[in-house]
A and B are shown apart, each in its own frame.
Chain A
Amino acid sequence: MDWLTETRWSPYVVGIGIGVLSWLTFLISRKPIGCSTAFARTSGMIEKLFGGKQIEQKMYYQLVEPVIDWEWMLVLGIVIGSLISALLSGDFQLQWLPSRWENAFGGSVMLRIFTAAFGGMCLGFGARWAGGCTSGHGISGTLQLAVSSWISAICFFLSGIATALLLYYVVA
């Protein structure tokens, strides 16, 4: 069982594993793997908590109901699965600053937190605009050969690469 305690597996083993997992979600749950809708539902649940019932009148939350569903549990499961894997290999660590970030932008935790929050806002906004994320479009949609997903996934990476190069080679 040494493979369970290894820190890293070959990316191809991991990719094939995720591919086989997608077979099972289609067969058993009749759903493709996706993650970003869960964040929209969470946002609706939080608004509901503070704003009362009129939130359900919002057009978007009639389409994406603010409830815990299969996909929401999937995202919760990712946290648990990653925690188990990291604990088994000793790779778990509480860390504020990723090293690649720190080397380029310095040791300010606040700068990282605010940048991450701003990036997260663009990510959440863009994922809902495109109707999916790196999982829903990037893996599940492209493997179904959906036109929407191939266009979205290509745009994710083109824009991501351009922004990353700008951040690291111009801003930093």
Chain B
Amino acid sequence: MDRNNQKKQGEEPRDRSPLLWGLLFGIIFGFFLQKGGVTKYDVIAGQLLLVDFTVLKVMLSAVLTGMIGIHFMKTMKWVELHPKPGSVGMSVIGGLIFGVGFAVLGYCPGTIAGAIGNGYLDALIGGTIGIVIGAGLFASVFPKLNTGILRRGDFGTLTLPQLFKVNDWIVVLPAGILIVLILYWIESAGL
């Protein structure tokens, strides 16, 4: 009942509390990113050069923790999932273009905000301006792409449990075990 009230309040346009929650969550997120060292070019480039596995350790342990908690809360009907739509044209080609930028810049859209807070001027002056221009260019070509390549091999907001037509936990448990095994392997390889 409380949750329903909260939902209605959140949708009123004059309610500013979502913005404040966003700011608060962002501050905590940025604090974690900096403490993890992933606001640094050297750490991110080190991951892509396969000499420093900090980024993967942070991401995989976040995914493991998040996955179990979110699916537990979904099972309890406390939350709903918000999976993003995708298609082969979107996810593969967009992902490959993103990867080039990821390596050339050495930050990503979240960690670059953390890099600015850390004092890194290549992030502020070079990278951020580039990302804004890149996003603007995409907005300009979007109408053309949207009738063509972005729709190739469309699979919408499909999730893995829906794809395999099984209960969420049938995917969560092996995915969790796989993540633990990968992390164990990284650690035992001394990376």
Contacts and interface: CB of A to CB of B under 8 A. Distances in A.
Given A82-B33, A82-B39, A116 B105 contact: yes
Interface in A85-137: 85-86, 89, 91-101, 112-137
With a 10 A CB-CB cut-off, give which of A47, A115, A160 has the most chain B CB atoms.
A160
B110 A119 contact: no
B134 A123 contact: yes
Contacts of A127: 94, 98, 101, 109, 131, 134-135
A79 B111 CA distance: 9
Interface in B84-128: 84-88, 90-106, 108-123, 125-128
Interface string A36-74: 101110111011000000000011110010001111111
Interface string B5-32: 0010010000000111111111111111
Interface residues of B, number: 124
Given A78-B114, A134-B111, A93 B45 contact: no
Interface of A: 6, 8-9, 11-12, 14-33, 35-36, 38-40, 42-44, 46-47, 58-61, 64, 68-86, 89, 91-101, 112-165, 167-168
Interface of B: 7, 10, 18-42, 45-46, 48-50, 54, 57-67, 69-70, 73, 78-88, 90-106, 108-123, 125-140, 142-143, 145-146, 150, 155, 157-161, 163, 168, 171-172, 175, 183
